[in-house]
Amino acid sequence: MLILRRVVRLVFVFFVVTFVTFVLLDLTPGDPAETFAGLNATPEVVEQIRVDLGLDGSLFERYVHWLGNAVRLDFGDSVVTRGFSSFDLIRDTLPKTLELMILAELIAIGIAVPLAIASARRPGGIIDNLSSSSAFGLLALPSFVLGIYMSYVFGVKLGWFPTIVDNLPGLNDDPIENLRQMLLPSVTLALNLVAVYLRLLRSDLIETLQEDYVMLAQARGLSERRVMWRHVLRPSSLNFTTAVGLNVAGLVGGAFIIEILFAINGMGSLVIRSVILEDFNVVAAVVAILTIAYVSLNFIVDLLYAWLDPRIRHGAR
């Protein structure tokens, strides 16, 4: 029953987000039919194209028609890139955006968790002071500022990494070169996440270390490492898991900025280009796919809560 309620809630969120997006796109100046027809098209031709594109009905009728097609992954054709559907364009750009986000998340978790554990073991120590100071500094810097700085230092001055990633090879074709080109954008995107995860997990670990059952485990002579990994880290991960799930939306926005900064032909570039050229079918398709991804990930996070803390699962019954 609990899972069913969450599924219903997520479906409701999808309908609300896609409908609001549809309304906002409808209020945006410009006519996709005129864009598709070209500058020299007559009003009769534009009207016929509007009928062919299904733009002649009311807002609600067009939304219902679009939704019925979207269920079959048919988001309509691009009105700018002739001969390609919206799904074709997304399919070509989505892997690069996903790779950037996944790499950034793995880098952030891989840096933040060990630093948080080391800081919690010795609060006020050298590692704790250095990591806390660095976290405050990273939180104060927007990702595009970090990107410009890192691109200049590691790309222009040192020449270790490319500053323009416009010819990215596939992971299957050349994984080493692919990762070399994506490392700098991924690290840039990950640094702000490191600061958030580090501060959140560190405070929860310190609080959990003061619990009676942890002190009892220490009194039984269990090693510090075993106490940390078996008795402390799991119950301290609830807020951390929440942050990972909720940061997906911010991660998408940050990924779009990083893609523009490093000239990565991902979904960020596609969305900006589609908005400028009034290719609203593509914009609506991107929003729908991102909404599905976001609500699905939040559903997974809800399930992880029950695994991390059984009290949540039992209390919901």
Show the domains of the chain with their CATH numbers: 92-309 (1.10.3720.10)
Q: What is the largest CA-CA distance in the chain?
A: 86
Is the model's pLDDT at 274 over the cut of 70? yes
Is the model's pLDDT at 218 over the cut of 70? no
Q: Both tokens of residue 148?
A: 């410009």
- pLDDT score, position 221: 63
| pLDDT tens profile 276-286 | 877 788 888 88
- pLDDT score, position 223: 62
Rounded distance between C-alpha atoms, residue 243 and residue 64, angstroms = 34
- Section 248-263 average pLDDT: 81
Percentage of the residues of the chain whose pLDDT score is greater than 70: 77
What are the CA-CA distances from residue 18 to residues 4, 88, 202, 315 (Å)? 21, 20, 37, 33
At 85 the three-state DSSP class reads strand
CB 184 within 8 A of CB 151: yes
Least confident of 9-13, 49-53, 305-309, 310-314: 310-314
CB 261 within 8 A of CB 191: no
Rounded distance between C-alpha atoms, residue 78 and residue 280, angstroms = 8
Least confident of 21-30, 123-132, 299-308: 299-308
Rounded distance between C-alpha atoms, residue 292 and residue 18, angstroms = 10
φ, ψ of residue 85 to 5 degrees: the values are: -85, 165
Rounded distance between C-alpha atoms, residue 235 and residue 309, angstroms = 7
Crossing angle for the helix pair 2-27 and 59-70, to the nearest 10 degrees: 130
CB contact set of 3 (below 8 Å; sequence gap of 6+): 303
- pLDDT score, position 2: 59
Buried b (16+ CB within 10 A) or exposed e, 79-92: bbbeeebbbebbee
- pLDDT score, position 315: 46
- Section 24-40 average pLDDT: 70
| pLDDT tens profile 90-117 | 888 888 888 888 899 899 888 888 888 8
Is the model's pLDDT at 317 over the cut of 60? no
Q: Both tokens of residue 202?
A: 């560190």
- Section 83-88 average pLDDT: 81
What does the mean pLDDT of the chain come to? 77
What are the CA-CA distances from residue 296 to residues 13, 129, 143, 251 (Å)? 11, 37, 26, 15
Is the model's pLDDT at 312 over the cut of 60? no
Between residues 67 and 209, which one has the greater pLDDT?
A: 67
Least confident of 83-87, 194-198, 219-223, 249-253: 219-223
| pLDDT tens profile 155-184 | 888 888 888 887 777 777 778 888 888 888
- Section 205-214 average pLDDT: 71
Between residues 316 and 51, which one has the greater pLDDT?
A: 51
**Which amino acid type is present at position 237?**
S
Within the chain, residue ranges assigned H as helices are: 2-27, 32-37, 43-52, 59-70, 86-121, 126-140, 143-150, 175-208, 212-219, 224-226, 238-261, 267-276, 280-308, 310-315
- Section 120-141 average pLDDT: 79
- pLDDT score, position 114: 85
| pLDDT tens profile 38-58 | 666 777 777 777 776 666 767
What are the CA-CA distances from residue 73 to residues 96, 107, 159, 185, 284 (Å)? 20, 32, 42, 30, 12
CB 147 within 8 A of CB 261: yes
- pLDDT score, position 316: 47
Of these ranges, 7-11, 81-85, 169-173, 270-274, the one predicted with the greatest mean pLDDT is 270-274
At 9, is the pLDDT very low, low, confident or very high (cuts 50, 70, 90)?
confident
What are the CA-CA distances from residue 61 to residues 22, 236, 238 (Å)? 11, 48, 43
- pLDDT score, position 1: 58
Q: Which residue has tokens 């029950």?
A: 306
DSSP string, 261-278: HTT--SHHHHHHHHHHTT
- The Cα angle at residue 255 between residues 116 and 108, in degrees rounded to 5: 15
- pLDDT score, position 112: 86
Percentage of the residues of the chain whose pLDDT score is greater than 90: 0
